[in-house]
């Protein structure tokens, strides 16, 4: 039986442009699992129990696997992480080798090829960990790794050394030590829970952890980084939202890369989080043949706003070992930013960053809008390529001169 691909049950009207079609919300459908009871399908634990985790399972569901994909899938759980929820699998187009969803979750043998500049820990997290599972790289905030499990595994994951334990990293966070470190460092005002995916913890465990963090007086702000609303929207239950709501200010950062990931199921799950008063942001990774296209990225950003999610970052793909086949160029990223800024709502424009290799932190990368600057003036260009002069002024002195357009486009 063919998978129930979204195009089969929610076609955009015939007059819709490809852009409008990208922006349409469709259900992921039930596909191979059409005879599963609703109560099971909508139960996140059922989804987790029935994940696709082995090559033979994958081949059975998708006989169109390419030789490269099959070779990659055969390394599942020995060298590479493999796990796909049935819900998310329904978004894969088995007939399209270049399907942007497929590229993100189906392993390929190229992941075993490591380019000279690639690393197993490209952001230098291990070298910035004062205790296991706690990364203290920036002055006032920490990354608190909660688990090594995710609902599905992304092929370009920065923490692929750690997630799923496929390569024997043997990650064992020790919450007592992580919390004690935070309690002993009054400069830490912001704690980001991540992993693996913190929302895979039971409500009880997560509540216990959040309560302990909230009890530390200098922790002002809690964040959860998660891909669960995208891979497993069934997990975003009213009970979970009611529990999270007790720990405000609590922000949630989700991770989506392609507008097709924003289904009706995901939209509803995000609405439950937003209705619990949780500010939502999104992080995307720029990926070759997935979202290295201005229309795809614009549709994604606009669709996120429709789900009350603020696009936060686009990451240049980290130099993680085995990711060269998915890495788009910085030039592509800059061209996309150029087509977002000014061309759509400012809220829909995230910050494009490179996480500096080896642990240098996030560096914003922007098209050049300041053409030159000296003590007397700043020369800037706008999104249309028009050039303007803005008079520079000494600190605290009124400038008294209106900004002036001086000439038009050919310089850009
Ligand atoms: S959900 Fe996040 S942590 Fe998990 S595999 Fe994907 S990128 Fe990595």
Please give the share of the chain, as a percent, with pLDDT higher than 70: 92
- CA-based end-to-end distance of the chain: 54
Does ligand 1 lie within 6 Å of residue 318's CB atom? no
Over the stretch 1-18, which tens digit does the pLDDT of each residue have?
A: 333 444 444 455 667 789
Strands 134-138 and 221-225: unpaired
Determine if ligand 1 sits within 6 Å of the CB of residue 153: yes
Report yes or no: 389 and 350 within 8 Å, Cβ to Cβ.
no
- Would you give the distance in Å from CA 110 to the centre of its chain? 22
pLDDT band per the 50, 70, 90 thresholds, residue 162? confident
Q: What is the pLDDT of residues 240-260, one digit of tens each?
A: 999 999 999 999 999 999 999
Q: Say which CATH architecture domain 1-116+220-367 belongs to.
A: Alpha-Beta Barrel (3.20)
Residue of 154, 235, 256 to test ligand 1 pocket, by largest number of atoms within 8 Å of CB: 154
Q: Answer for the pair 355, 121: CB distance below 8 angstroms, yes or no.
A: no
**Residue 91, Cβ density class (10 Å: 0-12 exposed, 13-18 middle, ≥19 buried):** buried
Alpha-carbon span 171 to 161, nearest angstrom? 10
Mean pLDDT over the full length of the chain: 92
Q: Is 150 touching ligand 1 by the criterion CB < 6 Å?
A: yes
Q: Which residues of the chain are in CATH 3.20.20.70 domains?
A: 1-116+220-367
372-412 pLDDT per residue, tens: 998 889 999 999 999 999 998 877 555 556 556 555 544 43
Predicted pLDDT of residue 3: 39
Which residue's CA lies nearest to atom 7 of ligand 1?
157
Cβ–ligand 1 distance for 159 under 6 Å, the answer yes
Known catalytic residues are 137-138, 141, 150, 154, 157, 159, 318, 355, 362
Atom 3 in ligand 1: residue holding the nearest Cα? 196
| Cα(209)–Cα(227) distance, integer angstroms | 19
pLDDT at 63 over 50: yes
Q: Residue 163 pLDDT more than 70?
A: yes
CA–centroid distance, 153 to ligand 1, in Å, is 6
* pLDDT, mean of residues 169-174: 85
Check pocket membership of 227 for ligand 1, CB cut-off 6 A: yes
Which ligand 1 atom lies nearest to the CA of residue 227?
Answer: 1
């Amino acid at each position: 039986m063919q998978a129930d691909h979204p195009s089969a049950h929610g076609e955009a009207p015939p007059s819709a442009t490809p852009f409008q079609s990208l922006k349409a919300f469709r259900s992921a459908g039930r596909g191979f699992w059409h005879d599963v009871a609703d109560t099971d399908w909508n139960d996140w634990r059922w989804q987790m129990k029935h994940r696709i985790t082995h090559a033979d399972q994958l081949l059975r569901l998708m006989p169109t696997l390419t030789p490269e994909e099959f070779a990659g899938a055969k390394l599942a759980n020995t060298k590479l992480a493999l796990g796909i929820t049935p819900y998310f699998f329904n978004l894969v187009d088995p007939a399209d080798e270049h399907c942007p969803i497929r590229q993100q979750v189906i392993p390929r043998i190229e992941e075993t090829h490591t380019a000279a500049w690639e690393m197993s820990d490209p952001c230098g997290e291990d070298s910035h960990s004062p205790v296991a599972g706690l990364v203290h790289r920036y002055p006032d905030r920490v990354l608190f790794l909660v688990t090594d499990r995710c609902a599905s595994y992304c092929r370009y994951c920065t923490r692929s050394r750690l997630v799923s334990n496929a390569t024997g990293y043997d990650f064992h966070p020790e919450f007592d030590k992580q919390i004690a470190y935070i309690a002993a460092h009054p400069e830490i005002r912001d704690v980001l829970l991540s992993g693996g995916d913190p929302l895979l913890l039971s409500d009880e465990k997560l509540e216990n952890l959040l309560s302990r963090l909230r009890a530390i007086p200098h922790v002002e702000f809690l964040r959860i980084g998660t891909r669960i609303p995208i891979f497993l929207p069934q997990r975003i239950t009213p009970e979970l939202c009611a529990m999270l709501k007790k720990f405000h200010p609590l922000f949630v950062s989700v991770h989506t890369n392609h507008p097709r990931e924003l289904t009706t199921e995901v939209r509803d799950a995000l609405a439950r989080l937003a209705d619990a008063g949780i500010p939502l942001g999104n992080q995307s990774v720029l990926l070759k043949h997935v979202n290295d296209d201005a229309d795809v990225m614009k549709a994604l950003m606009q669709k996120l706003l429709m789900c009350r999610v603020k696009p936060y970052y686009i990451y240049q793909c980290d130099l993680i070992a085995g990711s060269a086949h998915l890495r788009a160029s910085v030039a592509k990223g800059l061209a996309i930013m150029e087509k977002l800024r000014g061309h759509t709502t400012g809220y829909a424009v995230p910050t494009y960053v490179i996480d500096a290799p080896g642990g240098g932190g996030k560096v914003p990368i922007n098209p050049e809008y300041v053409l030159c600057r000296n003590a007397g003036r700043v020369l800037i260009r706008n999104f249309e390529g028009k050039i303007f002069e803005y008079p520079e002024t000494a600190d605290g002195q009124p400038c008294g001169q209106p900004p002036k357009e001086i000439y038009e486009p050919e310089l850009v």
